[in-house]
Amino acid sequence: MSKDPVLVAHGGAWGIPDDMVEAHLNGVRNAIAAGWHALSHGGSAADAVEEAVVIMEDDDAFDAGRGSFLNREGKVQLDALIMDGATLRAGGLGCVEHIRNPIRAARKILSESPHVYFVAEGAERFAAEHGIPLCKNEDLIIPREVERLREFQSRTSEERADLFAPTISHDTVGAVALDRDGNIAAATSTGGTLNKAPGRLGDSSLIGCGCYADNESAAVSTTGWGEPIMKLVLAKWSADRVFAGNAPQWVVLEAMEYLKNRVAGHGGIILLDARGRFGIAHNTPRMAWAFKTTKEETSGIDRNA
């Protein structure tokens, strides 16, 4: 039986300043348009989340792809994961410095490799061997982020303590989708945190932490402070609660409470089940989000109910 498709995207959960709201809203709307085009032309849920995330990786407003935060050495290091709920196959990569759209490479890993995860040079070699062009790291760096890193590194150690505050930028991007065949998928992509140590991985590209999809439960993408999210394996935790019979919107609200109360974490989450029910929540001041169904298309910067 054919299902009505659904697509949900997020562009990061933090204290998005007023002068950046429109850029974030435009970014998630453009992502929805690209993903929906794939769904409406017979594409799979995995196709849809890949296309949606590519748009946000290419958008300088977000901490993914070009325009990402710089690490301690002034380089962009990117992580991404895509997961197919029908097969539980996944493709992930971490700490890549020469791939403009890591979600494209992640999709190649999902579809063309017996492995699930590649890192650093090995990930880049796999990508190049499978038709993904490599780029210079400088091509991923923009002046705004050079200045952001310079300003941060000029602070005292006491002044740097607020790096993981809810108001600090966490512009990780993600999408979840349901296709006409009733399958769901999830994708998440990030440049990580500002001034991170080289080689640091966050939650975004780790199965069950920042991304998860299983037709029997839910497709999930998270954003925010990665270390607390990893400790709770939050995406899988949330999917399991849908499997147990809880409604998606209830689950995402509970997930944000759990994140805050258990490990003093903050972030945001989108979740979609194979029935087309979805939830959106965050415990930060704002989160850019958008969704589209056959009957409705909406975007916003704040949603917790």
Supply 63's token pair. 């901490």
CATH assignment at residue 148: 3.60.20.30
Looking at residue 69, what is its pLDDT? 92
Residue 232 sits in which domain range?
6-300
Distance CA 284, CA 267 (A): 6
Q: Report yes or no on 1 lying in a domain.
A: no
| In a domain? residue 37 | yes
Residue 305: per-residue pLDDT: 37
Count the neighbouring beta carbons within 10 Å of the beta carbon of residue 151: 10
Query: Residue 183 domain-assigned?
Result: yes
- Whether 295 maps to a domain, the answer reads yes
pLDDT at 302: 81
Question: 299: how many CB neighbours lie within 10 A of its CB?
Answer: 20
In the predicted model, residues of the chain with pLDDT beneath 50 are 304-305
55 located within any domain: yes
Q: Per the domain annotation, does 305 fall within a domain? A: no
Give the model's pLDDT for residue 159. 65
Q: What does the alpha-carbon distance between residue 96 and residue 140 come to, in Å, rounded to a whole number?
A: 11
Whether 87 sits among the annotated catalytic residues: the reply is: no
Neighbour count for residue 87 (Cβ, 10 Å): 14
Determine the pLDDT at residue 7: 98
Phi-psi region of 230 (alpha: psi -120 to 50; beta: other; left: phi over 0): alpha
Cα–Cα distances (Å) from 152 to 24, 57, 148, in that order, read 23, 23, 6
Computed over its alpha carbons, how large is the radius of gyration of the chain? 17
What is the number of domains present in the chain?
Answer: 1
Catalytic residue among 87, 156, 172, 193: 172
* Residue range 261-275, pLDDT digits in tens: 999 999 999 999 999
262 occurs within a structural domain:
yes
**DSSP assignments along 209-262, one per residue:** TTEEE-TTS-EEEEEE-HHHHHHHTHHHHHHHHHHTT--HHHHHHHHHHHHHHH
> What pLDDT is stored for residue 157 in this prediction?
73
